[in-house]
Structure formats: C-alpha cells, structure tokens
Amino acid sequence: MLKFRIGLISFLIAMSSCTEETPTVNDDSSALIKGEWILEDWYDSVPRDINNDGEASNNLFSQWNGCKKQSVLFLLDDRTGKIVYKGESNNPKCPPGFETNNFFRTGPWEYNEESQLLTFRGDDYLDSYSVIELSPNTLVLKGSGFLTCCDASISYFTGGYLKFRKE
C-alpha cells in the first residue's frame, strides 16, 4: 500500500510539473462571451464604399444592407453558435428561400483570453477576430476580411470593427 501511495504521489507531482503547450481558456471570460448578441455598429478607421454608391465612409453599418445585418448572434454554452435572421423573408441579400428565423450555424467557437482571439473553426475555414472590448453588455471585434456567399452580389467586405450589445 505504501508503494502505491508513493507511486501515486510521484505521478501527481510529475503531472503537475508538466506545462501545457496550448494556451488556457479562461471560463470566466468565456462566460462573458456566451449569450445573445445583436450587431449595433460596424465601422472602420479607413473610409470604404461597400455599397458602391461612390461615397466612402467610416460608418459601414449605414452602408450595409446584407442579410446578416438583421440577425442575432448566439454563442452557446456548448461552444457552438448560430446566426438567426430577424429580417423580412425573401430579402434579396440573403440566400434564395431564406426566411425570418432561419439561421446559419457557425463553426465551433473558442475564446482565448491570453491572445484575445475569438475563433470559429469550420471544416474548411478558420475565422479569428481580435477581441477589442469585452464587458457584460458589449463585445467589439476586429473583423476578419471578406464574406463570400453563394452569389457575388451578396458577398461583402467584413473587416473593420463589429460592435455588439448583449440582448
């Protein structure tokens, strides 16, 4: 019995001295990210003309009429996510046949407090957003680039900063 205890203690000491190779995820910070988020602002430090009307602006939200503008982002406890559409059915900026309360699933998400990255992993993509601000009611992300959809006319630039409020 004494040999078993010494062996167990040696094993526990050896395991506690190992260092992790992957950064840890803080569950408290992840708890702040979980929930229902509504996009309320989209802006960039570089003026852009995303609606091709000939006028560039830092306020991208006012220029955007894309499908996901009228949506709610759900970051769920099981680290999956979905974007639920709350706009009108048959919006020409949505995929054909897309209706109110239809949703897109995101890839599994992970928040790394050390690197301040919120990452969504899909089978064929990895989208990482820098978390600029995180509080109980506000989430500001630095966007990732360009969203391409089923049709070039509903694909759009997604860089800049995305500001969400918790619902």
- CA separation for the pair 109, 119 (Å, rounded): 5
Q: Which pLDDT value is given to residue 18?
A: 36
Residues counted in the chain:
167
Residue 96 confidence (pLDDT): 82
Domains of the chain are 25-166 (2.40.128)
Q: Which two tokens stand for residue 20?
A: 């992790």
pLDDT at residue 132, as a whole number: 95
pLDDT of residue 6: 36
**Mean pLDDT, consecutive 10-residue segments, the chain of 167 residues?**
36 33 50 92 88 89 80 93 88 83 89 93 85 95 64 64 92
pLDDT at 11: 30
Reduced to 3 states, what is the DSSP secondary structure of residue 18? coil
What pLDDT sits at residue 113? 92
Kindly report the pTM of this predicted structure: 0.72
What pLDDT score was predicted for residue 28?
Answer: 64
pLDDT at residue 2, as a whole number: 38
